[in-house]
Every structure is written in structure tokens, then in C-alpha cells.
């Protein structure tokens, strides 16, 4: 049996999405910047997708800028905020995706900005009191960049609360919502968010395409220079087939949100229950084992097993056709491991092997049963 429990890494593309992508590739190859009929058809597809994605987020179409995915959106927003908006301090956390962490490293070197990391609570949540303190530290222009759903431990940030806090202190707020868009509802008219990043391949769309939400009149200037595509902010011929595919994927995701969430949450809860029976001392990292504050799509677990057995765990699961993600903390000071678990785990758990299992609508409880059987075999 082959089981794919790595949906936080990427999701399978829905059949309907593949169909529209193929159809656009076959029938609509024009360049949307061309003025002839081929170009106009491509442009119509492009703008219909922009309008549809904007409507799904209750945003304005001109606030949606298409990019190549989450990494580009994160980089675009952080770099532009420093380059164009006079941001001198970025407040973020040590458990962000590397697209944020490494972009901030580059901005420190390139522009001498200050990066402040907000304290984390023991469960991996953001310490909002400390965030308030950092926001008031000095008078420098600040951007707060905090992710919506953590891709490793699943903790969810209260976007409304954080956005309000940022704005009350005259700071801009960016959220990396790559793991949230398509899984949670975003009302951009209600949410105090200035910038947001999203990627289609996390909600059953194609890879290499995503978007930045950039609030109207933000003052951002071009991040890629060239033609006048994407309102001049991000030059380059748009990937029309992928963009149409992303729209289709988002449309289906939001049309089926309640039903799919219920099913996926059911799988997650079943998984937690069955695995806890088998390993009574198992630890669910972050908030991933609790009902509140964690996404319904993933769990991150540390196993109380011997070092000898731990080294065989990934191999055993792979051999049995199970795909999940290795997420262990730095083992015995070897210097690598998950930066997220390294930030939150304490001894002795940080010496246990950790794995992330992430679910989608294409998974079933039967697959969980199979996984449990595989674990039983491994344990004995």
C-alpha cells in the first residue's frame, strides 16, 4: 500500500485542476500582453482568475499579484518593504519558513536592518506580550512578519489580534499564509493585514505559482524589472495555465471547505487516538495534538524509542510505502535538524525522532490503520 501523508510539503493536484490547465495550454497559448485575439483570450483568462481569487479572499483584484509561489511572495514583500517603505526593523519569529528567515538574513547584510525575534511560549505559540514590547522598543519603521499556520507544528496565529496590535503601533503586518490559504477563510476587508503570501501547490493546485496580497496604496515599487505585467510590480509573462489552475484549485477548496475540513479533522483525530494507544508516552509537538490553536491538516510527533530503533524509523516507513516528513530536532549536537523543533523542544524529547504527518481529502482512516500496523511491526 502507498500512503501519502506529506501534504504540508505539497498536495496532489485535483483532476479538475489538471483538466483546466491542459485546456488552457492547448487552447489558450497567447501572451496576455499581446493585443491580438490570442493575447486578449489569455488576458481574459488571467483577469478572470485574478477576480475570482480576489473574490474568494474578499479583496480587490488589483490587490492580487501573481508570483511563482510562497518563496517569491515572501521575498518580494520583505525586500520591497525595506526598499520602498523605509522599514528599518523586522519583527518575526525563529520558527518561520526559511523563505522568511533567509530573506531577513540577506536584508540585514544588504540594508543593515535590525531583525528582532519575538519570544515563543513553550507550546510554540507567539508571546503576544513580548510582541507588544518589541513594537514599542523604539521609533523605527517596523514590519511584523509572522506566519499564519506553522508548516512544521501546525500552530495557528490569531491574525486579527496580531494585525490590530501591529497597526496600533504603526507597524506594517505581513503574514506567510502558505499553509492557511485554501484551508481557512480569509476576509481581507476585515483582517488588519497589509501583505500576505500564498502558494497554489499547498491547496491541490500546480507548483511554481502563487500570489501576494498587497493592500491598495501600499506604496510598493517593482521587485522584478521588465515589462508592465502585474501592475509593473512583478515583470515577466504570466504563467496563464498555472494561474487558471490555481484559481480552479482555490475555488474548489472554498466550495468544499466545511465538508473537507470535517473529513480531514476526523482522520487527524483518529490518527492521534490510535498512535497514542500504541505509544502511550508519545509527544505531539507544538499544539498539533490539541483541538485548539492547531491546523486540522497536520500532526508532528516525537517517539519515545531507543536511539538504535530511531535510526531505522524513516527507512522502515519508506520501505512500507508511507510518505511523511522527517522533522527531528538537532540530534546529539550534530548541528542540523528542524529549526522549529530546535526552538521549542527541551530535553529529553529533543533526542527522540520526530515526524510530521500531514493529511488531505485524498487520505482515509484505512490508511491510518495501515500506518498503525506498520508501527506495530516496527515496535516489536
Ligand X SMILES: Cc1ncc(COP(=O)(O)O)c(C=O)c1O
Determine if 42 is a binding residue for ligand X (CB under 6 A): no
> Across the chain, where does the E strand assignment appear?
3-4, 64-67, 89-92, 114-117, 142-145, 172-176, 195-199, 210-214, 283-284, 298-302, 322-323, 325-326, 354-358
Residue 278 is placed in which grid cell? 500504541
Q: Which of 28, 166, 324, 330 is catalytic?
A: 330
- Looking at beta carbons only, is 120 or 275 nearer to ligand X? 120
Q: Is 330 a catalytic residue?
A: yes
User: Whole-angstrom Cα distance, residue 368 to residue 263?
Assistant: 13
Site size for ligand X, by CB under 6 A? 13
147 binds ligand X (CB under 6 A): yes
Which cell is 157 given?
A: 496565529
156 near ligand X (CB under 6 A) = no
The distance between the two most distant Cα atoms of the chain, rounded to a whole number of Å, is 68
Q: How far is the CB of 179 from ligand X (least distance, A)?
A: 5
Q: What are phi and psi of 295, to 5 degrees?
A: -70, 150
* Cell numbers describing residue 369: 490503520
Quote the distance between the C-alpha of residue 85 and its chain's center: 25
Q: For residues 30 and 38, is the Cβ–Cβ distance under 8 A?
A: yes
Residue 70 touching ligand X (CB under 6 A): yes
Q: Which of 179, 300, 345, 354 binds ligand X (CB under 6 A)?
A: 179
Count helices and strands in the chain by DSSP H and E runs: 11, 13
The yes or no reply on residue 181 touching ligand X (CB under 6 A) is no
**Least CB distance to ligand X at residue 72 (A):** 7
Q: Give the number of other CB atoms < 10 A from CB of residue 231.
A: 12
* Contact set for ligand X, span 182-221 (CB under 6 A): 199, 210
**Does an H or E element contain 5, and which?**
none
Side-by-side strand order, sheet with 89-92:
64-67, 210-214, 195-199, 172-176, 142-145, 89-92, 114-117
Rule CB under 6 A: say whether 57 interacts with ligand X.
no
- Between 42 and 147, whose beta carbon lies closer to ligand X? 147
Of the residues 178, 240, 249, 355, which one makes contact with ligand X according to CB under 6 A: 178
**By the rule CB under 6 A, 176 interacts with ligand X:** yes
Q: Hey, which residues between 78 and 117 contact ligand X (CB under 6 A)? A: 97, 99
How far apart are CB 137 and ligand X at their closest, in Å? Answer: 26
Whose CB is nearest to ligand X?
70
Binding residue (CB under 6 A) for ligand X from 80, 92, 125, 151 = 151
Nearer to ligand X, 253 or 374 (CB): 253
- The residues of the shown chain that bind ligand X, judged by CB under 6 A, are 69-71, 74, 97, 99, 147, 151, 176, 178-179, 199, 210
Report, as residue numbers or ranges, the catalytic residues.
330
Amino acid at each position: 500500500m502507498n500512503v501519502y501523508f506529506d501534504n504540508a510539503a505539497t498536495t496532489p493536484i485535483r483532476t479538475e485542476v489538471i483538466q483546466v490547465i491542459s485546456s488552457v495550454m492547448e487552447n489558450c497559448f497567447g501572451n496576455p500582453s499581446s493585443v491580438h485575439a490570442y493575447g486578449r483570450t489569455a488576458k481574459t483568462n488571467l483577469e478572470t482568475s485574478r477576480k475570482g481569487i480576489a473574490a474568494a479572499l474578499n479583496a480587490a483584484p488589483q490587490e492580487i499579484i501573481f508570483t511563482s509561489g510562497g518563496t517569491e511572495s515572501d521575498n518580494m514583500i520583505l525586500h520591497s518593504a525595506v526598499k520602498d517603505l523605509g522599514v528599518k526593523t523586522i519583527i518575526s519569529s525563529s520558527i518561520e519558513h526559511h523563505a522568511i528567515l533567509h530573506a531577513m538574513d540577506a536584508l540585514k547584510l544588504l540594508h543593515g536592518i535590525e531583525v528582532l525575534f519575538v519570544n515563543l511560549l513553550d507550546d510554540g505559540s507567539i508571546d503576544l506580550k513580548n510582541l507588544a514590547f518589541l513594537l514599542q522598543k523604539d521609533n523605527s519603521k517596523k514590519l511584523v512578519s509572522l506566519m499564519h499556520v506553522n508548516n512544521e507544528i501546525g500552530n495557528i496565529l490569531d491574525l486579527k489580534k496580531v494585525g490590530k496590535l501591529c497597526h496600533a503601533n504603526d507597524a506594517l503586518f505581513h503574514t506567510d499564509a502558505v499553509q492557511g490559504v485554501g484551508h481557512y477563510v480569509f476576509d481581507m476587508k476585515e483582517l488588519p493585514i497589509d501583505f500576505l503570501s500564498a502558494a497554489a501547490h499547498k491547496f491541490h493546485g500546480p507548483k511554481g505559482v502563487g500570489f501576494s496580497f498587497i493592500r491598495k496604496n501600499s506604496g510598493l515599487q517593482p521587485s522584478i524589472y521588465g515589462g508592465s505585467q502585474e501592475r509593473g510590480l512583478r515583470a515577466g509573462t504570466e504563467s496563464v495555465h498555472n494561474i487558471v489552475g490555481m484559481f480552479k484549485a482555490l475555488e474548489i477548496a472554498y466550495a468544499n471547505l466545511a465538508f473537507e475540513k470535517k473529513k480531514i479533522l476526523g482522520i487527524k483525530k483518529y490518527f492521534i487516538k490510535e498512535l497514542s494507544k500504541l505509544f502511550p508516552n508519545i509527544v505531539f509537538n507544538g499544539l498539533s495534538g490539541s483541538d485548539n490553536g492547531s491546523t486540522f491538516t497536520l500532526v508532528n510527533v516525537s517517539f519515545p524509542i531507543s536511539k538504535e530503533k530511531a535510526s531505522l524509523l524513516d527507512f522502515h516507513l519508506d520501505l512500507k510505502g508511507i510518505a511523511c516528513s522527517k522533522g527531528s530536532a538537532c540530534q546529539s549536537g550534530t548541528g542540523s535538524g528542524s529549526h522549529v523543533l530546535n526552538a521549542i523542544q527541551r530535553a529529553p524529547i529533543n533526542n527522540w525522532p520526530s515526524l510530521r504527518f500531514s493529511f488531505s481529502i485524498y487520505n482515509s482512516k484505512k490508511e491510518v490503520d495501515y500506518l498503525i500496523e506498520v508501527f506495530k511491526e516496527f515496535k516489536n
